[in-house]
Amino acid sequence: MPQQRLHRAARLALVLGALTLGHSRQARAADSAAPTATAQSGGAGSGVATLPLERVRRGMKGYGLTVFDGFTIEPFQVEVIDVLRGFLPKQDIILMRGDHPVLARAGVLGGMSGSPIYLEGKLVGALAYGWRFAKEPIFGVTPIANMLRLRDYPVRREPAVDAPAPVGGASRPGSRAAARGPADRAAWWADLQRRRWWELPFVAGRGGGEEAATAEALMPVTVPLNTAGLSAEARVQLRRGLAAFGFEPLQGGGTGQVEGPERFTPGAALGVTLVDGDVAMNGTGTATWVDGPTVLGFGHSMFNAGQLALPVGSARINHSLANLAHAFKLSSPARELGTLVQDRQEGVLADTSRRAHMIPMTVTLRAGNQREVYRVRVADHRMLTPMLVGSVVTSAIGQARADVGDVSYDLTTRFTVRGHPEVRVVEQQYSDVGLRAAAGNSRGLEAVRAVMDNPFAPVAIERIDVDLSAQYQLQPLMITAVAVSANVVAPGAEVPLRVTFRPFAGPELTRTYPLAIPRPLAGSVIVVEVGSGTSIRPELAPPETLGQLLAQLPQSYPARAVVISLRSPTEGLKLRGRLIDELPPSALDTLRGGAQARDSATLQTVRRSVFPVSEVVLGRKEVRLRVMTREESE
C-alpha cells in the first residue's frame, strides 16, 4: 500500500545516508526509527504510536515527512539537540536539526509547519518553530501530546443567525461590546468609525509582528499565503493586516483543475482557503496526524482565533524556494477536503466530514463601453471577511482600471444579511489619482465590517456585490468661499447664502442658496457650514440593535450635492439609537437620568439642507452669524 512504500522509502533513505557517512550506529537507529506499515496504515492516527516527551534525549535520530515538490511526501533526517522547557505557556519545545538536500540549500521552509517528526519509529511531534536568517536548518518541534489536546476542545454550537435579537438590543454573547450597557456599544460605534476595513478588530496574533523580524527570536515558521490574481497593492494591504500572525502574502498559483490526494496523510500539504475564484488566497502548512475525519497540523496557530470554520484541502507544492530573508514553499490549491475548526497555540484541527460556507462575491467595473466582472468566494469569518473583501476589490480596481488621473466614480456595495432586507451603500466620489483609492475610502466595505463585527446578533452574509462606474471626463467643483450680505440676521428671515466654487479649469462661479434662520435662535450666534456631501456625515446615534445598524449604514449625503449645515447652541440627545433635537436643559436632565456623563449622549443641534448639483463637490467652508434678539428685530 502507499504508506508501506512511503515508510520503506524513508527507511532506505536514512540507511543509505548512514552508510555514506560510515556510521553503522546511525543505520541501526534509522532502522528502528521507521514506523511500521501497520502503525501508519492509511494514515490512521488511532494506530500510530507516539513517543512521550519524557523519553526524548539529546542525540536521538529519526526522520520527518513533508512535501518539497508536487504531492510527493519525502523523508528528511532529524537529530535532537535538546528540549526547551516552558517555551510557551504549559508547552515545551524539542529543538532539532534537519538534514535533506532542500534543507541544506534553503533552510527550514515556510509551509513546513506541521511536518510530522518520528523518533524510534514513533510520532513525537510537529515541526513548528524556526529562526529567520538562520544559517543551518534548526527548528522547534511541538510535542504531539500538546497537539492531541486540540481534540478535547468543545465545538460550540453557534447561535442561529436568523434568530431575533434579544429584547432591548442586548449584545450577542462573547462580542467586544457585550451587553454591559450603552457606553460599551457607543465605544464600539466610535471605534468602528475610526478603523479602516483592512485593520483587524483583534491584535493578539500568534507571536508574529515586529518580533518575528528579528534573527534572535525562535518564532512560528511562516505560513505562506499564496495568492493568485491579486495585485501588488492588495498584497501590501494584506501584509499590513496579517503582519501580527506571521503570514507572508506571496504571488503563487491559483485555482485550477481539481487534483491531488482525496484524503490527508501525515506529511501531506494542508492548505487553508481564504478566497477562491478569479482571485485565490491559500495558506499552506503540513498535516501531522490523521484519525478518520480528524486532522491535526501546523504545530502552532494560524490566527490564534480558537473555533472557526475555514475550508481546507490539499495543495500542490510548485517549488521549494530558497530566499535570503526566508525560504518558503510556493503552492497552488488542489482539492477541497474539509473544514478547519480549531486554531490554537498547539496547532490547528480540521474535520474532513464538514464543508465550510463561503460567501459568493462579484466585483463589476464599468467605464464607457467597457465592463469587467470578477467572481470569487470569500471565507466567512467575522474578523477576516472584511479584509478579504477589501483586498479583492482593491486588486480588481488596480488591475482593470490602472489609470492615474482625474476620475469621478459611483461605487455601489450591496450585500444581503439572512433574515433582513438587502443593504445598499451608494457612494459618489472624485479622485485625482485614479481609482486606486476607491477601495480604501469605501463606506461600503466599512459597512461589511460593521455588520460582521456587530455586537448585537450573529449574522450570515449570503452574498456581496460591488459595482463601480467611472467617468473620466467629469471635473469637480471646489468650494472656495461662503458669504452673506450681512453677518447680523433676523430670526425667521430667509437669507441668500452665496457659495463660490472653483472648477478644475475655468473662472470661478457663484451660486446662491436660501438659508432659513429659525425663530427660536433669536439672540444667539450660529455657525453655517457649507460642504460637499462626502465631507459631512449625517448625525447618527449609536445603534442599539442589528436592525438599527443595518438601517443606518446606507445613510449618507451624495457627493454631487451642496450640504448646508446650521449649528445652533441648543442641545439634543442620542438615546436608544435615536436623535432627539433641541431639548431644554430640564428635559435633557430628565432623559439622561442625571447619573450618566453629560457629554456621552448629548449632541449639538444641527439643521441641514441638501441641494443636488450635476458635478462632484469638494471642500468645506463656514461663516458665523449673529441672530438678532426679538427686541432688535421688531
CA-closest candidate to residue 428, choices 561, 551, 536: 561
- Which range (112-121, 351-360, 534-543) has the least confidence? 534-543
- Between CA 224 and CA 326 the distance in angstroms is 10
Residue range 209-355 forms a domain whose CATH class is mainly beta
Contacts of residue 496, defined as CB under 8 A and 6 or more positions apart, other chains included, come to 484, 485, 512, 513, 514, 515
Domain 2-152 has CATH 3.30.70.100: no
How high is the pLDDT of residue 89? 87
Domains 2-152 and 209-355 share a fold: yes
Please list, residue by residue across 91-122, b when 16 or more beta carbons sit within 10 angstroms of its beta carbon and e when fewer do. bbbbbbebbbebbeebbbbbbbbbbbbbbbbb
- Of the chain, the percentage scoring pLDDT greater than 90 comes to 47
The number of angstroms, rounded, from the C-alpha of 140 to the middle of its chain's C-alpha atoms is 28
- Give the tens place of pLDDT for each residue, 222-249: 888 899 888 888 888 888 888 767 677 8
- Give the tens place of pLDDT for each residue, 93-121: 999 999 999 999 999 999 999 999 999 99
Residue boundaries of the structural domains of the chain: 2-152, 209-355, 359-471, 477-633
Q: pLDDT grade, residue 71 (50/70/90)?
A: very high
Residue range 359-471 forms a domain whose CATH class is alpha beta
Residue 417: in which H helix or E strand, if any? strand 407-417
- Between CA 200 and CA 237 the distance in angstroms is 12
How high is the pLDDT of residue 46? 55
Query: Is the pLDDT reported for residue 513 higher than 80?
Result: yes
Contacts of residue 597, defined as CB under 8 A and 6 or more positions apart, other chains included, come to none
Q: Helix %, strand %, coil % for the chain, to 5?
A: 25, 40, 35
Q: What is the mean pLDDT of the chain?
A: 80
How high is the pLDDT of residue 319? 92
The structure's pTM equals 0.79
- Give the tens place of pLDDT for each residue, 555-564: 988 888 999 9
- Give the tens place of pLDDT for each residue, 270-308: 999 999 999 999 999 999 999 999 999 999 999 888 899
Q: pLDDT grade, residue 216 (50/70/90)?
A: low
